[in-house]
Amino acid sequence: MFKEKPCLESLFDDLSHPNPYINNKAASEMAKHWPAESTDQLISNLNHKDISLRRSSIKALGAIGSIALPPLCQLFKSSSDRTIRTSVFKAFLQIAINHEGDLFPPEAMNILEFAIDDDTPELKLTLVSLCKILGDQGLPLLIRLCKDENILGVQAAVTALGEMDSPIAKAFLREFAYKTTVD
């Protein structure tokens, strides 16, 4: 007995449904049956005025995973809109959470490095959370954030490093604490 492949159009309808269970099911089915076909529409939803649809699209992109990274990188580079850029980072975060252990490609890591200089609070905090999830791959960026002038970013990065089980993070924090007390 085989389950029929769901219609992509009905999955997009379900993505807009007010019930979160139905949204999550639609995201899961898109990732399973229509990852490549749904990615462009999900990415275009990151600019939608409906916050619920944006959030559902971010979750769906997270379920789809790494194939969504290149077009998300392109969207980030081509837009200066805070909402779009923050939504891209939230999608990155969902991808990292749902596919923990997968390495981000160099193009995505370049976007993260570029974003260090962005002072948008939501973007900065999402960047810190993302770097923490990325583990060793995100560690150099967290260390750079600790040297930033944005106190919110510094505080969040120090906390993230303290929560990581990494000898490099621990050594950096000891040196950072010593330097801060001496200065």
Identify the CATH class of 1-100.
Answer: mainly alpha
Q: What is the DSSP letter of 160?
A: H
Ranges of CATH 1.25.10 domains, the chain: 1-100
User: Is the CB of residue 16 less than 8 Å from the CB of residue 55?
Assistant: no
Lowest mean pLDDT among 1-5, 43-47, 97-101: 1-5
pLDDT at 61 over 90: yes
Give me the pLDDT at residue 157, please. 96
Backbone angles phi, psi at 28, to 5 degrees: -65, -45
Backbone angles phi, psi at 91, to 5 degrees: -65, -45
Average pLDDT over residues 96-121: 93
Give me the pLDDT at residue 113, please. 94
Burial class (CB in 10 A: 0-12, 13-18, 19+), 65: middle
Q: How confident is the model at residue 10 (pLDDT cuts 50, 70, 90)?
A: very high
Q: How far is residue 32's CA from residue 56's CA, in Å, rounded to a whole number?
A: 16
Average pLDDT over residues 162-175: 94
Q: What is the DSSP letter of 90?
A: H
| Cβ within 8 Å of residue 20, ≥6 positions away | none
Give me the pLDDT at residue 1, please. 44
Q: 71 versus 176: which is more confidently predicted?
A: 71
pTM of the model: 0.91
pLDDT at 182 over 90: no
- Average pLDDT of the residues of the chain: 92
Give me the pLDDT at residue 119, please. 85
pLDDT at 89 over 80: yes
